[in-house]
C-alpha cells in the first residue's frame, strides 16, 4: 500500500486547496491537520488502514518525537519509521521509551496485510519523471565532455590568454552564458505548462515541482549545446 505518513506542511495545504494534490481525510481533525497521507493506494484502502484511533495517535506521537515519516506496508511489506537525528539538548532519557511505545501502538493496531496477486496500474507519470532525470544526468555528463572537446584551445587558459574572455564568440564560457540566459525563460514557461498536468494524486505537487525543474534543466542544456554549435562549429 505504501502509505507514507509525514508532518503536513503549508505547501501540502496549498496544493490541496488548489486541487493539485488529492489527499485522503480520516475525519480525525487533529490527525488530518498534523499528518499528510501520501500513498498510491485508493482512498478506501487508506481509510480502512488508518481506521484505528490508537494507530493514528501512535503516528502523531512518532512525528512529534522527530520521526521524518512512518510507512505502512513498505516495499518489504513492513511498517517502518525513519529517524534522521538522535540527540537533543538537554538530553531526554525517556524519549526512546516513548517512541517505542508509539511504534508498538501503530504496529498492534495496523490491519493484517497479505500479498495480492493484482498488479498496480502502470505509473506513467513516475516513469516519465525517472526518464527525464536520467536524460538530464546523461546529457549533463556527456555535455561537459562534448563541451570541452568542442571548445579545444578556447578553454586552455595557460596557452591561450584570451580563452577566458566571456563576451567573445570564441570565449570559453560564451555558449554556457548565452544558453543559460536564453534557455532559462522558455524552460521556465514550458516547465510551468508541463507541471500543470500533474494533479489528482497525493504527491502531485512534488511531481509537478520535479517536472518543472527537469524541463528547465533540459531547456538550458539544449540551449548551451545549440549556441556551442552555432558559435564554434561554423
Of residues 2, 51, 1, the one with CA closest to residue 25: 51
82/132 same-domain check: no
234 residues of the chain, pLDDT tens digit each: 889 999 999 998 998 888 888 888 999 999 999 999 999 888 888 899 999 999 999 999 999 988 999 999 888 888 899 988 766 667 777 888 899 999 999 899 888 877 777 777 778 888 999 999 999 999 888 888 888 777 777 777 666 555 555 556 677 788 888 889 999 999 999 999 999 998 888 888 999 999 999 999 999 999 988 888 887 776
In-domain check, residue 33? yes
> Is 115 inside any structural domain?
no
Q: Are the C-beta atoms of residues 170 and 164 closer than 8 Å to each other? A: no
**Domains in the chain, number:** 2
- 70 and 12 in one domain? yes
Are 130 and 223 found together in one domain?
A: yes
Residue 116 lies in a domain: no
Assess whether 81 and 9 both reside in one domain.
Answer: yes
Q: Identify any residues that bridge with 37 across adjacent strands, giving them in sequence order.
A: 5
d(CA 93, CA 105): 20
Domain interval for residue 176: 124-232
Residue 85 inside a domain? The answer is yes
Asked if residue 141 and residue 91 are part of one domain, the reply reads: no
Q: Is 215 part of a structural domain of the chain? A: yes
Residue bearing cell 533540459: 218
Crossing angle for the helix pair 10-17 and 204-232, to the nearest 10 degrees:
90
Q: Where among 49, 83, 109 does a domain terminate?
A: 109
Do 143 and 104 fall within a single domain? Answer: no
The alpha-helical segments, DSSP class H, found in the chain are 10-17, 29-34, 43-49, 53-64, 95-109, 124-151, 174-195, 204-232
CB atoms within 10 A of CB 147: 18
Asked if residue 66 belongs to a domain, the reply is: yes
Please report whether residue 204 resides in a domain.
yes
Pairing of strands 3-7, 35-38: antiparallel
Same domain flag for 68 and 148: no
Burial class (CB within 10 angstroms; exposed 0-12, middle 13-18, buried 19+) of 175: buried
Residue 67 lies in a domain: yes
139/98 same-domain check: no
Amino acid at each position: 500500500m505504501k502509505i507514507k505518513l509525514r508532518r503536513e506542511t503549508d505547501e501540502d495545504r496549498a496544493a490541496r486547496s488548489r486541487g493539485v494534490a488529492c489527499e485522503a481525510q480520516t475525519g480525525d481533525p487533529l490527525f488530518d491537520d498534523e499528518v499528510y497521507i501520501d500513498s498510491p493506494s485508493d482512498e478506501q484502502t487508506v481509510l480502512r488502514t488508518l481506521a484505528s484511533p490508537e494507530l493514528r495517535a501512535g503516528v502523531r506521537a512518532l512525528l512529534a518525537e522527530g520521526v521524518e515519516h512512518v510507512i505502512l506496508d513498505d516495499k518489504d511489506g513492513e511498517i517502518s519509521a525513519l529517524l534522521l537525528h538522535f540527540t537533543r539538548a538537554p538530553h531526554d532519557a525517556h524519549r526512546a521509551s516513548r517512541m517505542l511505545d508509539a511504534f508498538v501502538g501503530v504496529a498492534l493496531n495496523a490491519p493484517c496485510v497479505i500479498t495480492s496477486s493484482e498488479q498496480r496500474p502502470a505509473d506513467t507519470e513516475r516513469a516519465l519523471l525517472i526518464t527525464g532525470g536520467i536524460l538530464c544526468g546523461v546529457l549533463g555528463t556527456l555535455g561537459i565532455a562534448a563541451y570541452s572537446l568542442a571548445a579545444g584551445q578556447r578553454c586552455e587558459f595557460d596557452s591561450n590568454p584570451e580563452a577566458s574572455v566571456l563576451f567573445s564568440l570564441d570565449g570559453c564560457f560564451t555558449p554556457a552564458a548565452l544558453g543559460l540566459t536564453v534557455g532559462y525563460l522558455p524552460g521556465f514557461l514550458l516547465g510551468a505548462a508541463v507541471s500543470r498536468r500533474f494533479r489528482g494524486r497525493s504527491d502531485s505537487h512534488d511531481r509537478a515541482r520535479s517536472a518543472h525543474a527537469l524541463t528547465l534543466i533540459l531547456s538550458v542544456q539544449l540551449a548551451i549545446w545549440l549556441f556551442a554549435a552555432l558559435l564554434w562549429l561554423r
